[in-house]
Structure formats: structure tokens, C-alpha cells
Structure 1
């Protein structure tokens, strides 16, 4: 009798281990593949951060964020201006890591686009993703990578949220997101502010304005998050494709402005504007 009980207990203990072996990347309660511990995928890694108070059932909007140069996906998931924004707004943050801590966004053959798409699909095996609200973001080199991603794989992307990094405005993009939001500092000398002909400060989004049929007319307004984080917004809302482009400009340099990502998510998700 004692032997039989021992065998039953042994089988019960072995069952969870066997189940995890069938999918070693599974993000389960207590799994190490979360937060600062990366998830393995195709010989590479990405990080994931759930929103605060998620009920474990409701579909989650997604922010796929590409880190800056010489960083990894571990940075966005603890960064107050990135995960601080997603956690408070019910958004699942996915942060892939670039090979050698950088991104291949220079040409249309960018293999990192396929990896970014694979990260979303891998996370979708474990989380109920809201496919209508997939946002793509990035900072610096990662912002240029986010541009490259939506340029090649943007058909299913609700919005690009780009911070201080672009592609060449003469680039030809096969696809594009439903909306583009870009912020850049006029004094940026790291990813230099892409000034247009004749000092046109609206040039950083010329590519999308042309692709979306936005024309020259724009709406200009000033807005602020904090006393130090104020912006001039150029908005093109009557593009012939029905898409929308906004460009937020500030006078400073190369950084993620406080609350900027959070404010964009508030507007895109129909939430009351909030800080942080």
C-alpha cells in the first residue's frame, strides 16, 4: 500500500515538469521567463512585462518596443518611461534584444523585422493578444528599427510610436501602420534632427505624409506634460488614405521625454490623459 501511494505522489510531481518540457518557453505562474529573465526564441531572446492588475483573461493591447543601441530588452521592462507607461494602461510590453545589442535597420533586408514579428506570435501562445491594438515603438536606434518594422510589416500595426530616430525620408515602404506618432528634439545630435529643405522642421515624417497622402496642410498646437516637457505638435488628420500622422517637437536633445509614451497610449486607447 505504501509503495502504491509513493508511486502516485511521484507521478503527480513529475507531471508539471513533463508539461513544461513540451514547451520550455512557456510563461506560466512562477515561470522565470518574465521581467528581467529573458524568453528564449530561435536562438535569441526577448523580455516581457505584464500590466498591473491584469485579470489573466482580458485581451491585452501590445507594445513591441525596440531598445536603443548597446542596450538589451531588459532595459525597457524596468524603464519608468516605457514599462511605467504600459503597466498603468493595461498594455503588454514585449522587448526583443538585438544581435550584438543593435539592430539591422539599414536596408530592406532587415532580418530583425522577422524576429520582431516572431516575438509577437510567440507571446500570443501565452497571452490573449488584442490584434487590433498592436503598437510598435523604439528609442534612438530602436526608433529607426521600429520605422523599419512598420515599413516592411506594418499592415497589422495600429500605430508607430517613435522616439528620436528615423529612416531616410526617401525610403520606399511596402507597408505602413494605421497611424504614425513621432517625437524628436530639435537639438538632437545623436540621431541628428532630420531638418528638411529650407529649415523645414516637419521633415522627420515626410515619408509617411507622402505615403498616406497627407499633403502640406497641418494643424499646429502646443501641449505639455510637465513644465520641462512641452511640445509643438504638427498633425495631419485628413490624409487621403484615412490614416493619421503626428509630429511632436521639443527644443532639447536625445532622450525619451517624460510621459510621452504614456500620453500616446492614453490617446490611442481612449483613456483620460494621465501622468506618468
Structure 2
């Protein structure tokens, strides 16, 4: 009885947190004007029989004659485009640094029904979903390809500087894009994303940054069972997942420690071919929160929020350096 009551309390708290952080908003954005101007807009794309939506933040001083870089930012399970733009500060940084950021919305687990944080969360088909489920039949990679095509017609961007990032399930989707859409990307970076593609085989190696909290209860560092608002799951050790991606981008089998202090351990899987590498920032004592976010879930749900790292700024710095 106690375990059942504890689970019900967990679900209630998760629902409240989801309302505060991810849901509870009827946010509406205008369509992208022609010619495009700075601001926040919506773009809809017909893919796989579904009308998919994404939010596009065009930075101040945007000039279509000198197209800026583009960041694709993908929310976690139960989240939405608005949260990763605002709470994770991608829109703010886009204005400061002069890049476009597009934040697509995942489709619900039961895609023909309205989304709901607890009952029907928005998800990405990153490879994590149960085989045969309705959501696992929808090709999100195809959607992102179409989204980039549509966006290029309305808001020109530099196709040689396109980066993908995401949190949690959105981080897993980032790895899937890296595996299946490397031809359209320059570099990728994730926060607490799982490499869920069975045998990733990208057409080219991509510079990759992985940011991860060592006390993450959602994706335990040593692997094993974890409890989510939608049930339980079992995952492999994080090191095994990273080794799989390191192999996919032709890196060494074992990582090299670059730096190690009280807050962060930085390691790198070096390239075997003098090419792109996989860099990991282990945030000591940190949980599943997006580091530096302006609003977070309660620590009782997704672990401690101890890191002082600004993950958004760190990822952008990594993306910039990958083109030099």
C-alpha cells in the first residue's frame, strides 16, 4: 500500500511540475512573415500524414543576404518547443549570438489524440519507444528533413552550419539525427540523451558533445531500472552508450581524461582518423535537469540541480568551434 501511495504522489507531483514547466500554456505564434523579420514564429510542416508544428526564433538584426547558423533544439518527453526556447534559454542566446533556432514539437504517444503530460506526452521516435507502438511507426527523421527544407524557403540559413541538440528524449533524437541525417548537420550536442539507435552508421562523423549529470536518476550512470512519470524502464550503462557512438564516428575504444576538478570531469574519445571527436562533460552530483535552465522540475523527481554550468552557452561554444 505504501509503495502504491508513493507512486501516486510521484504521479501527482510530476503532473503539477509538467503543468508548471512544460504544459498549461495555450501559446500561439504568428506565421513567418515575408520577408522574414526578427521574432518568434510558427512553421507547420505536413509529414507522414500529420501536420507538425515548430517554433522558430529569428534573431535581432537578421539579414537574409548573410544567412546565419541554425540550431535545431528538441525538447524532452512531455515537453514542448516553448520550454526549450524559453526555460533553457535558446531564444535569448540566439539573439545574443545571431543564430536562428528552430524548436520542433514531438508528437504525442497516441498521435491522433491531444497531448497531455501524463496521459499522452509529446515524444520523439529516438529508438527508445516500444516496437510496434503507434508512435514508433512515425519517422521523425523524415519530418526534420522536411522542416529544414520548408524553413530554408522562408528563413534562409547557412546550410553549412546546422547544429542539433536536445534534452533527454530530445537528446536521444539528436543522436538519431546524427546517425541518419549526418549529411544535413555540422555537429551535435545533447544533455542526458540516450544513444538508442541499435547500430548507428552515419554517412560522416560529426563532432559531438555530451553533457551528463552523474546523479541522474532518469538515465542512471551505471544503468539499470529507473522510474519515469509514465512507468519504469531499464537502460544500459551510460559508458556503453557512449562507446557505441564513439565507434560510430570512428573514435578510439577508450576515452582520455582531459580535465578533472570538483565540479566537472571532461573526457574525450579521440578520433582514429584525425577527424571529429566525442567529448563528454560529467557534471558531478548533478541530476537530469538542463544545467542553467531558468525553471526546473523538483529535485525529488529528476535528481539534484548542483551544476553551475550554462549548458546552452557551452553547447553553442562547442558548435562554433566545430566550424573553425
Question: For the superposition of Structure 1 and Structure 2, which TM-score range results when normalised by the shorter chain?
Answer: 0.7 to 0.9
TM-score, length of structure 1 as denominator length: 0.75
The equivalent of 2:125 in structure 1 is 104
Structure whose alpha-carbon radius of gyration is higher: 1
SS of alignment partner, residue 146 of structure 2: helix
CA distance in 1, matches of 2:98, 2:280: 25
Q: Which runs of 5+ in 2 are unaligned?
A: 1-29, 109-121, 225-235, 293-309
**CA distance 1:78–1:28, shift in 2 (3 Å):** farther
- The SS at the match of 2:84 is coil
Q: Measured at CA, do residues 213 and 55 of structure 1 come closer, stay the same or move farther in structure 2, by a change above 3 Å?
A: closer
Match of 2:220 among 179, 186, 192: 192
Match of 2:313 in 1: 262
Q: How does 1:16-31 map to 2 (within 5 A)?
A: 26-28=32-34
Residues 214 and 62 of structure 1, relative CA distance in 2, 3 Å threshold = same
Q: 1:181 and 2:218 equivalent?
A: no
For residues 1-276 of structure 1, the aligned pairs below 5 Å read: 26-28=32-34, 35=40, 37-42=41-46, 43-100=51-108, 101-106=122-127, 111-168=139-196, 171-175=198-202, 177-193=205-221, 195=223, 202-222=239-259, 230-240=263-273, 242-251=275-284, 252-258=286-292, 259-270=310-321
Distance 1:52 1:151, change over 3 A: same
1:200, CA displacement in angstroms?
Answer: 7.7
Provide the C-alpha distance between the structure 2 equivalents of 1:204 and 1:47, rounded to a whole number of angstroms.
30
Deviation of 1:195 after TM superposition, in Å, equals 4.9
CA RMSD of aligned residues (A): 3.0
Deviation readout 1:178-218 (Å, 9 max, x if unpaired) = 2111111111112333559xx98644411121122322353
Q: Which moved more, 1:77-86 or 1:133-142?
A: 77-86
SS in 2 for 1:184: strand
* 8 Å CA contact retained: 1:86, 1:262: no
CA distance in 2 between partners of 1:214 and 1:166 (Å): 18
Structure 1 Cα separation of the partners of residues 272 and 59 of structure 2: 33
Shift of the 166–178 alpha-carbon distance from structure 1 to 2, 3 Å rule, reads same
CA drift at 1:138: 0.5
Distance 1:256 1:80 in 2: 7
Q: How many residues align?
A: 239
Report if aligned partners of 1:61, 1:91 keep a CA contact under 8 Å in 2. Answer: yes
For the structure 1 residues 217 and 80, does the alpha-carbon distance in structure 2 shift closer, same or farther, using more than 3 Å as the test? closer
Moved more, 45-54 or 199-208: 199-208
Mark the runs of 5 or more structure 1 residues left unpaired by the alignment.
Answer: 1-23, 272-276
* Structure 2 length-normalised TM: 0.65
CA positional deviation for 1:142 = 0.7
Rounded to whole Å, the distance in 2 between the matches of 1:240 and 1:110 is: 35
Distance 1:237 1:180, change over 3 A: same
Task: Rate the CA distance shift 1:193–1:165 in 2: closer, same or farther, 3 A.
Answer: farther
Greater shift, 247-256 or 184-193, is seen at: 184-193
Determine helix, strand or coil for the equivalent of 1:115: helix
**CA-CA distance at 1:41 after TM superposition:** 1.5
User: Could you tell me whether the CA contact under 8 Å between 2:74 and 2:170 is conserved in 1?
Assistant: yes
